[in-house]
Amino acid sequence: MSPWEKVRRQIEGGTGNTELLAFVAALDEPARKAVAAQLPGYLAERLRSDPRARWEVVMRASAFRIVGAACMSGASQVATWLNRREFRDMRAPKEDAERIARLLRGRKEEWRRNLAHRLVDGLRPGRGGTAARSEGEPGWDLAATLVIETGIQPAENDAFVAGWVWDLHRQLWMGAESQVVRDHPLLDVMVPRLFHAAGVAPALTHDWQWNTGHQLPSIIGVLAELTVEGRLDRQALLDACAARFLRGGEARDVEPFVILWKELRPTVAELPVVDLVRVLPAAASPLAQLAADELRRFDEAGGLDDDLFAEAVGALAFRPEKKYVTAALQWIAQAAPERADGSLTALAQIFGLDTPALRDRAVRLAIKLAPHASPAAGSVVREAAASLPPEPLGRIAHVFGEVEPTPPEAPVAGVLLPVASLPDLPPPITSAADLAEELSALGWPHNTPMKLERLLSAMVELTHRDHAATAEALRPWWKERWDRFSPFWVGCATVYNPHALLSLCGLAVVAPADSAELSRQITEYLDKNPPYQTVLDWFVRDRFREVIALFEAGRTIPVLLATPTAPTGHVDADTLISRLERLGDAEPLPLDFHQALLRLPRAVDPAALARAEKLTSPAGRRLAAWLRGGGLADPVMTCRLERMSRSAGYQNSVDVAELHIRMTPAQDLPEPVHDLCVLKPKAWFQGHSERMVWWPAIMPSHREVIAAHVLECFAVDIANSHAQVDVLPTLVRGEGPVGLATGSAIAMGMGHKLPATRAWATDAVKILALRGELPADDLGWALGRLVRADTVKLSRVTPALEELALSGAHAETWTILASALPAMLPAAGERPRPGLADLLAVAVQAAALAGARADVPELAEVAARKGGSRLTAEARRLLQTISMR
């Protein structure tokens, strides 16, 4: 047996790495060359194989690395092999590094130095979060081992520095003492690089938080200790921190160096005050807080000159965070009168804030400093005061001189633009070959209801036209899926998935007996393990199942009645009559017939009714009676806030306030249709659905009915972010009344925690507004109650309403808010909800754009309260905007 065959067998057989290492180390030069010649091709072949073979490569990465390191000749070739991405996520990287380093010690020193340089250059940042990276950076252990053994100066590679930090963190976390940092051979090389290497900050922060939280030494803490011992230069670390501060960056980038600065405890004399002032305007919050604190400490020691004081308080006043503006006000309040000019310049910036409490405090301080102001400072104050409200403006003018108020900017109304429409329906599929091709190309992300309805219709019609030819055309498609995914398809079918059910329809065409056996297994499974599905989900599932049963019985029908003729899911009445004429006296599939009835438009041409009256089949007479009676009457609905028990973790529950619709039919109906028109709230998890995309097309002429079912699901799913808010734009494009159910569902959707998901609810509002159908009063009523019940957060709703107001739907937005505000505004003695002032600001914009005039007693009561809170100020602005006087 050749050396390569022996090596290959040991790799594939999972022989221990120790035995493999001993075997390849004992090979002579010709044998190593022979193995090296075969190894790359063997790996490439394994990677081209099935997923299991690729997984085995990853699992045996250390064996591949051992063989390559032992048998390949050039340092460049070995480095390329060891740095392959397939070998990055190996187990036990330290042990791997020790084995390979031991293997390479027999190589020439120059060769090893060359390899060390190449391994350092080839390092790349690890993937995954801190939990994964705390196990070590891929390839670092071997690179570091060779760097230390050969004594080379490692190249500037950020991944190498990050790997050093992660390695120290791992050792400290495993119980090592601080000596692992102090005595590390690379300490003096690595410490200066910490301050400019990308990717180091997350490692340092994680190490600090994790290790200090477990009373273990941290890297930052040890570095500070080493300056006390004299092992590291204290001033060098302070200078490096200051230089890092000047480079800026996000909070996560500067946080560990802020921590190090605090651990170093610089004296007042060591503070780089000019640098700290320079970073204040734009620094990330941890650094800004540090700079502000250190500058106050320096100033209290009497060392900050007036110019730097003015620049510092001006920078704090400029920042958007209220805490820094407050810090500026506190600093100014304690400043000497000689600093009046610098203080007034900073205070002038605060005049423009929307926070009345901060603005009024700035006005009071400016008035106090007026006797000490220079003419130039007074001019700055007067100019800034022009945008103040009348009362504080008058107080400033009384002290600083006449101020010409800035006229308020008139709001500019936007134009409400159409939301993208539903895509047109493609033409029907007319051949078995085309059907098989489209089924093969159908992917999971593309299984939209209209696509699957079209494929199901073609399968029924083509099978009726030529069962044998259709079965033969579908056989390769089905065989591919059955051989690869049989258990998967069965699992999907049991829990309801239209894509899987369509594939099972194909099985029923190709192999009816196999399909019947599978259906028996599925039924048996469902009897023992009934999954919860909504009535709408079962309706869709059972439509597919009746087609499967048709094929399993060896029967066919010419056409399905319910295949949509419009993107909304509607079926044209004349088309439905023509389909019934094609059926002749044959009875349609029951659910298919009822689905077709539910997809009819609300208004049917009298000529279509006259055609239907001429149908002689039983199904035709039922259709004529349905049309003659006006179709489905709108069910009776009531909406109210109810408290329901919902899951709150394992075996725990919580009572939650939710809006629910109770619904009953307004007429006698066939059982499948009747069940769709009955709804009452259920506790726990009973409203959940993952297939709501199918719902609008079930009853496209009765939007409010579908919205009631959607609301029941949102009550369960909004809180855990599973709600399928993207159903709303499709839902509202249908027909029929919209009211409390639709408004409540949209309000819930606007409360989703993800902005991108909330946007679907906003789009639904825009669609209804463009069509003149928005139930703004109902939406506002629902929104008010959901916010008051703390079910929907104002911080999520307000941006959506502002977008609506500024995009052209200002009148509708005002109507929504006028209906919502009475429930949202706090009663006397009640704590206002967070974000209410922001909502009132949006109401001011919407009311101004709409030219609204209204009487809202609850608003007047809030506006009349004493105090200078922003909520009171915004209430007064809104009251003034909508005043009838």
DSSP 679: B
pLDDT-based confidence at 488, cuts 50/70/90? very low
Across 120-127, average pLDDT:
82
* Average pLDDT estimate for 357-375: 93
pLDDT at 530 over 80: no
User: What backbone torsions phi and psi does residue 639 show, to the nearest 5 degrees?
Assistant: -130, 135
Of 120-134, 675-689, 779-793, highest mean pLDDT = 779-793
- The confidence score (pLDDT) of residue 386 equals 92
- Report the Cα–Cα distance between both ends of the chain, in Å, rounded: 103
Return the amino acid letter for 1. M
Sign of the Cα torsion 110, 112, 117, 122 reads positive
- Res 495 pLDDT > 70: no
Average of per-residue pLDDT across 228-242: 95
Number of helices (H) and strands (E), helices first, in the chain? Answer: 46, 2
684: pLDDT strictly greater than 70: no
Q: Which amino acid is present at 278?
A: R
User: CA torsion sign, 465 to 467 to 472 to 477?
Assistant: positive
pLDDT value, residue 138? 80
pLDDT at 357 over 80: yes
Neighbours of 488 (CB within 10 A): 12
Residue 787 buriedness (CB in 10 A; 0-12 / 13-18 / 19+): buried
| Integer Cα distance of 168 and 163 in angstroms | 9
Q: Are 540 and 498 in contact (CB under 8 A)?
A: yes
**What does the pLDDT read at residue 500?**
82
Q: What is the pLDDT of residue 485?
A: 47
Residues in CB range of 528: below 8 A, 6 or more apart: none
User: Which residue shows structure tokens 């409360």?
Assistant: 751
Cα–Cα distance, 99 to 91 (Å, whole number): 13
Rounded CA-CA distance 613/608 in Å is 9
Helix, strand, or coil (residue 658): strand
- Closest by alpha carbon to 688, among 658, 709, 704, 662? 709
Instruction: Check residue 487 and give its pLDDT.
Output: 47
Contacts of 620 (CB under 8 A, 6+ apart): 577, 580, 612
pLDDT tens for 791-820 read 899 999 999 999 999 889 999 999 999 999
Q: Can you tell me which residue has the tokens 């030819």?
A: 469
Q: Any bridge partners for residue 480, and if so which?
A: none
In angstroms, what CA-CA distances link 761 with 15, 222, 421, 460, 747? 59, 53, 15, 37, 8
* pLDDT band at 687; cut points 50, 70, 90: low
Residues 581, 584, 585, 588: is their CA dihedral positive or negative? negative
Residue 634: both structure tokens together = 């709108």
The 3-state secondary structure of 233-288 reads CHHHHHHHHHHHHHHCCCHHHHHHHHHHHHHHCCCHHHCCHHHHHHHCCCCCHHHH
Taking the mean position of all CA atoms in its chain, how far away is CA 471? 43
d(CA 765, CA 816): 11
The three-state DSSP-derived secondary structure of 388-436 is CCHHHHHHHHHHHCCCCCCCCCCCCCCCCCCCCCCCCCCCCCCCHHHHH
Place of tokens 């009714």: 609
In this structure, is the dihedral angle defined by the CA atoms of residues 867, 873, 875 and 881, taken in order, positive or negative? positive
- Is residue 203 within 8 A of residue 162, CB to CB? The reply is yes
3-state DSSP call for residue 642?
strand
- Are 713 and 751 within 8 A, CB to CB? no
Give the C-alpha separation, 739 to 406, whole Å: 43
Identify the band that residue 31 occupies on the pLDDT scale cut at 50, 70 and 90: confident
Confidence of residue 686 (pLDDT cuts 50, 70, 90): low
CB within 8 A of 672, min separation 6: which ones? Answer: 539, 590, 591, 594
CB of 794 closer than 8 Å to CB of 758: no
Can you tell me the distance from the alpha carbon of 73 to that of 511, in angstroms, rounded to the nearest whole number? 59
Quick one: how far is CA 864 from the chain centroid?
42
Rounded-to-10 torsion of CA 545, 551, 554, 558: 110
Average pLDDT over residues 314-341: 94
pLDDT at 739 over 80: yes
From CA 665, how far away is CA 634, in angstroms rounded?
7
pLDDT of residue 699: 97
Write the DSSP symbol of residue 659: E
**C-alpha radius of gyration, the chain, whole number:** 37
3-class SS at 115?
Answer: helix
Report the chain's mean pLDDT, rounded to a whole number. 88
Helix (H) or strand (E) holding 874: helix 870-882
At 552-606, the pLDDT tens digits run: 999 999 999 999 999 999 999 999 999 999 999 999 999 999 999 999 999 999 9
For the stretch 398-453, pLDDT in tens is 999 998 888 877 667 777 878 888 889 999 999 999 999 998 887 655 568 999 99
SS3 assignment, position 655: strand
In angstroms, the CA 818 to CA 803 distance is: 17
364: left (phi over 0), alpha (psi -120 to 50) or beta: alpha
pLDDT at 131 over 50: yes
Residue among 627, 457, 482, 645 nearest 556 (CA):
457
Q: Can you give 20-66 as a three-state secondary structure string?
A: HHHHHHCCCHHHHHHHHHHHHHHHHHHHHCCHHHHHHHHHCHHHHHH
| Beta-ladder partners of 640 | 660
Q: Which two tokens stand for residue 287?
A: 């650094």
Residue 17's nearest CA partner among 82, 103, 83, 79 is: 103
Backbone angles phi, psi at 840, to 5 degrees: -65, -35
Burial class, 131, CB count within 10 angstroms (exposed 0-12 / middle 13-18 / buried 19+): exposed
CB 746 within 8 A of CB 706: no
Nearest to 553 by CA among 542, 561, 545, 562: 545
Share of the chain above pLDDT 70, in %: 93
Mean pLDDT on 688-707:
93
Token look-up 């009256």 returns 613
